Structures are given as C-alpha cells and as structure tokens.
Amino acid sequence: MKVYTCNNCHNPLYFENSICLNCGYAVGFDPTALTMLTLEPESGYKYCRNAEYAVCNWLIPATSESGFCIACTLNRVIPSLEDNANRLRWKNMEVAKHRLIYSLLRLHLPFEVTCPGKTESIIFDFMADSPNGEHVMTGHDNGIITINIAEADEAQRTRNKQDLGERYRTLLGHFRHEIGHFYWDVLIRDRPVIDKYRQLFGDERKDYSAALATYYSNGAPADWDQRFVSPYATSHPWEDWAETWAHYLHMMDTLETAWSFGISVDPVELDESAGISASIPKDPYKMKDFNRLIRRWLPLCFAVNSMNRSMGHPDFYPFILSSPVIEKLRFIHGLGNA
C-alpha cells in the first residue's frame, strides 16, 4: 500500500481515511488513478453510497448512476444492519475487501472470466450463521466468495485460529485466499500453463472432497514445511495454489508499503555475508525480476519479526519459505510478467 497525503495540507493519510485529521477536509480514494483525493465542490467526484454506513471511502464520478464504487459493486449479500454488532463486522469486512481490490487493480487482474459455456464474475456474499444453527461456510464457488461474518469478530477469529492450530489467520488473509481460487480459473484452467502448474502444485484432478476429508482426519504430513507454505496447502493442489496466492499478495502489498516509506534493512552489527540487508528502490508491482522481490522480502520479514518480538507480539510473518514454495511464488509472479 502506498503512502498518501492530503492535497490541501499534505498531512499523511491512511488508506481508509475519509477526513484529513489535520485540516478537516473530506478525502477519498480514487480507484481509477489509485490515489487519495481531497474533495472540493467542483472536483467532479462523490462518495460511494456505502460511505453512508462509514464502510467505504472510495470515490466515483459525480455523474455515476450506479452509486457504488468498483469494490462495493461486487457485493451481492451483506449482513443485516439492524444488529449493531453486524455493522462493525461489515465495516471490518469492507476494510479488508477494499485492500484486496486495491491489490487486484495494481496487478491489472480482470474481475470476470469466460469459461466454457459461462462467465464467472467476482461476487461477495457476507453472511451470518442462521438462528436455527445452520453454519455458513467460508469458501469460493464459480466466482462467488462467501465469508462468514464471524471471521470479522477478532475474538471468534482467534478461537478459530487456536482450534485449527494455525500460525496466521486474518480477515484480509481469508479474502486473499478465496480470491486465489477465482484466479486459478482466470489464469490456469484450460491454459497452457496448467502443465507447469501441475509440476509445482500437483494434479488438481484428484478428488477434492476425498482429499479434504483425508486432511481433516490425518492432518498435514510431518515434513509439510519442506514443500508447502502452510499445513492446509497440503490438502489439495487447489488449496496449495490458493494459500500460495495469498502469500504472494501478502508479499507484494507489504513490500509496496515498505518501498513507500523508504524502509531499508541494514543491521549495524552484521556484515554483508549475513544476507539480511535489503533496500527497496523501486515499486515492487513494477519489478519483473522475482529474484529482486524475494531478496528484499526475506530480510524485511526477519527485521519486522524482530521488532514485533521486541513489543511482545507474535511474529509479523510466521513462515519459513522453502525453495519449492519460492518456486511456486515465482510461478505466480511470472503469470503477470511474461
């Protein structure tokens, strides 16, 4: 994520700001120019309709008839807003979703794909468990991404993380994982690259339901970290792709943030042979050479993990990327930089 400033007073802005806290001007994000704008009466922009609920600060042309921005247009189902707790959960969902959409725009990825006999488009359903106990499963199905809004409750998400023995579980991570299934359809299915995909991730034609049942019964193999980015990635080649795709988005967005702040890693007590120095001289989204990205990502993770530990927090990035995982990430990067 880039660093933004108010056009009026040049005060730094967070991506989610709708008001500059320094000068009080209204600000919003223009998804066409990918920048924050300070609104003037003659600016030609207005807020997305969901700004009414304080869940969106994206801008649309003042003449727009739809009323919704490119991110909110993708919503099909939102939770009932009669419940105040749901309003907060929905806001958390939208914060994560808008950051996801930003990354997709930066990667110039399409929001729909034509498949044999049909067209798939990204659709979001944000749903709650029913009063009769029917559970909403988070998942993807032909472009439809369903997320249980309980994941937007930090306490519930932490319980889920502990129950499943996960190292990392965030709302943004859910979005990045589930959208990965959609982009498998966009970038891999029925394309020549599927052979290379199968070499790296495995044959996705194996029975998906049976594979998941085996995973939930037996767990991941003891040596999973030698070939996979997470235990869940071992369950099926589709899940390996989605997990690795999510990590690719983690890497790109975080490196862009570090680049925007001019962050470099150069430990004063270690010489160059330690291999944990790095500077980020260029926008990562414009780097075609994956080696340049990974050489910056690993030292940055080590540095920020160390800072988190200094504050008594868990690691910022609690993963070790093996050589096979790095090759999978390289493959994903190459799909958009051929």
Contacts of 9 (CB under 8 A, 6+ apart): 20, 22, 23, 25
Name the token pair of 166.
């996960």
Condensed to tens digits (0 to 9), the pLDDT of residues 211-222 reads 999 999 999 999
Weakest-pLDDT range from 63-67, 273-277, 333-337: 273-277
pLDDT at 293: 94
pLDDT-based confidence at 187, cuts 50/70/90? very high
Partner residues linked to 61 by β-bridges: 45
Pairing relation of β-strands 123-127 and 75-77? parallel
3-class DSSP state of 18: coil
pLDDT for 132: 81
**Which pTM was predicted?**
0.93
d(CA 58, CA 95) in angstroms, rounded, equals: 11
Q: Given this model, what pLDDT does residue 319 score?
A: 93
Helix or strand (DSSP H, E) at 118:
strand 118-121
Q: Is the pLDDT of residue 191 over 80?
A: yes
Q: Which residues pair with 141 in a beta bridge?
A: 144
Q: pLDDT band for 311, please (50, 70, 90 cuts).
A: very high
Confidence at residue 270, expressed as pLDDT on a 0 to 100 scale: 59
Residue 62 in this model has a pLDDT that exceeds 70 = yes
pLDDT tens figures, 230-288: 999 999 999 999 999 999 999 999 999 999 999 888 776 656 655 677 777 889 999 99
Q: What is the mean pLDDT of residues 32-47?
A: 90
Cα Rg of the chain (Å, integer): 21
Is the pLDDT confidence value at 182 over 90? yes
Q: How many residues are present in the chain? A: 338
Give the CA angle between residues 118, 119, 125 to the nearest 5°: 115
pLDDT higher for 273 or 79?
79
State the Cα–Cα distance between residues 177 and 138, nearest whole angstrom.
11
pLDDT > 80? residue 210: yes
- Greater confidence, 115 or 248? 248
Percent share of the chain, pLDDT over 90: 75
Share above pLDDT 70 across residues of the chain, in percent, rounded to a whole number: 97
Res 181 pLDDT > 60: yes
pLDDT digit string (tens) for 83-110?
888 899 999 999 999 999 999 999 999 9
- DSSP SS3 for 198: helix
pLDDT for residue 203: 97
Q: Which has more confidence, 152 or 166?
A: 152
Mean pLDDT over all residues of the chain?
91
What's the rounded mean pLDDT across residues 180-189? 95
Phi, psi of 30 (to 5 degrees): -95, 105
Question: What's the pLDDT tens digit per position in 284-309?
Answer: 999 999 999 999 999 999 999 999 99
Q: What is the pLDDT at residue 32?
A: 95
Residue 81 pLDDT greater than 80, yes or no = yes
Between 121 and 65, the more confident residue is 121
> pLDDT value at position 113?
86
Residue 269 has a pLDDT of 61
pLDDT at 74: 97
In sequence order, the β-bridge partners of residue 147 are 126
